[in-house]
Structure 1
Amino acid sequence: MVDYAPYAQALFELAKDSKQEMEWMEELKQVAQVITLLPELSQILAHPSISRVKKKEIIQTAFESKIDTTVFRFLLVLNEHNELSHLDKISDAYEECYRKKHKIEIVKVTSASKLDEDQLSRLKEMLEKKLDKTLELEVQVDPSLIAGIKVQANDLVMDNTVVAKIDAMKEAINR
């Protein structure tokens, strides 16, 4: 498996020096999304028999005037190393560099019903105090939980769902 972190880390270091970490992260995400959403473009950039020169022309036409010059040059470097078709993975690795530097952790929240903005805000605030970190919530709704909420972080799992309580009762009865 190829490690895309060195590419991401190199761009991230430049972004830190330029104080454009967030902006470049957003641009990388957007370019990766464009490539992913256009299957023809994705296939061309991944095809080994299409020359780097032709791919460079396509990149120039599609992105040169629309993104930061350094990010554009980064795309050209990826093209030279035949890694442009992996921009989505490189973008994810860049985002991981960003989160690590800013001590941001992703927390998965699964609830039986949709949580409103106020509930999410209070939950995030409570979890940030408990974990002493900045958090990004990934929220999912799973009606099969019946009621309650499940929170999963790197070093924390809180399952306050009806399904979890039923499972705990079953286990206690079976002992």
Structure 2
Amino acid sequence: MVVSFKPYSLALYELAKDKDQVPYYMEQLKKLSDIWKENEDFLKALRHPKITRREKKEWISQLFESELDPLLYRYLLVMVEHDQIGYIPEIYEAFIEVYKEDQNIESVLIESACPLSEDQIRQIKTVIEKKLKKNIEVRTNVVPELIAGVRVRTKDFVLDNSMLSRISNLKEKLENAY
């Protein structure tokens, strides 16, 4: 069963956007996500079906009522009501996705055989931004197996201009020629 956390994150995102405080709520949700991840027993208890919503609300109240923005605190209580309180890390990740969609941001991974200079990264970023018509968030990774060239991965496609790819393509053509 695939569960989408987007509706829960979208609701919080819209509230944060209405208050013009998206970065603040993103930061607070990240902190909550980290708390959930760092406390495995707490996470298991929040997800346990035999622990009542009332008990979970009491825990949330004791731990967070005086610590959180009132809107975010109420949001957690609503998540208890919807049996989603144990999934704050997933809701945070979905919140980031909603933010990126709203801001027209695409995450791109640039892989190269050796480290790229800032200028090379900037040039590749400019080309990809023009192609996608989006703001690009770049991550880089060194993959020596590529031999030379670069491979660019986005959510929707892979552009592989590496020597490894060229060798593989040549090998395939030679195999198919006979």
TM over 0.5: yes
Is structure 2 residue 75 aligned with structure 1 residue 74?
Answer: yes
Structure 1: 5+ residue stretches without partners: none
CA distance in 2, matches of 1:14, 1:126: 35
Indicate the residue corresponding to 1:171 in structure 2. 172
Q: Which moved more, 1:35-44 or 1:117-126?
A: 117-126
- TM-superposed CA distance for 1:156, in Å, is 4.4
Partner secondary structure for residue 67 of structure 1: coil
Q: Secondary structure at the match of 2:106?
A: strand
Change (3 A) 1:155 1:78: closer
Distance 2:116 2:89 in 1: 30
Equivalent-residue separation in structure 2 for 1:117 and 1:73 (angstroms): 44
Matches within 5 A, 1:8-47: 8-47=9-48
| Superposition map of 1:128-167 within 5 A | 128-167=129-168
Structure 1 range deviating more: 144-153 or 37-46: 144-153
What is aligned with 1:89?
90
Deviates more, 1:16-25 or 1:148-157: 148-157
Q: Deviations over 1:53-106 (max 9, x none)?
A: 332233234333443221221111101221111222222222222111111112
- What does residue 113 of structure 1 align with? 114
SS of equivalent to 1:105: strand
Q: Which residue does 1:99 correspond to in 2?
A: 100
Residue 116 of structure 1: how far off its partner (Å):
4.8
Unpaired stretches in structure 2, ≥5 consecutive residues: none
Within 1, Cα distance between the matches of 2:152 and 2:80? Answer: 40
Structure 1, residues 7-46: CA drift from partner, whole Å, max 9, x if none? 1121121112111122212221221122012211211111
CA RMSD of aligned residues (A): 2.2
TM-score between the two structures when normalised by the length of structure 2: 0.84
Letter in 2 for 1:14: L
**CA 1:147/1:58 → structure 2, altered by over 3 Å: closer, same or farther?**
farther
Q: Which residue of 1 aligns with 2:3?
A: 2
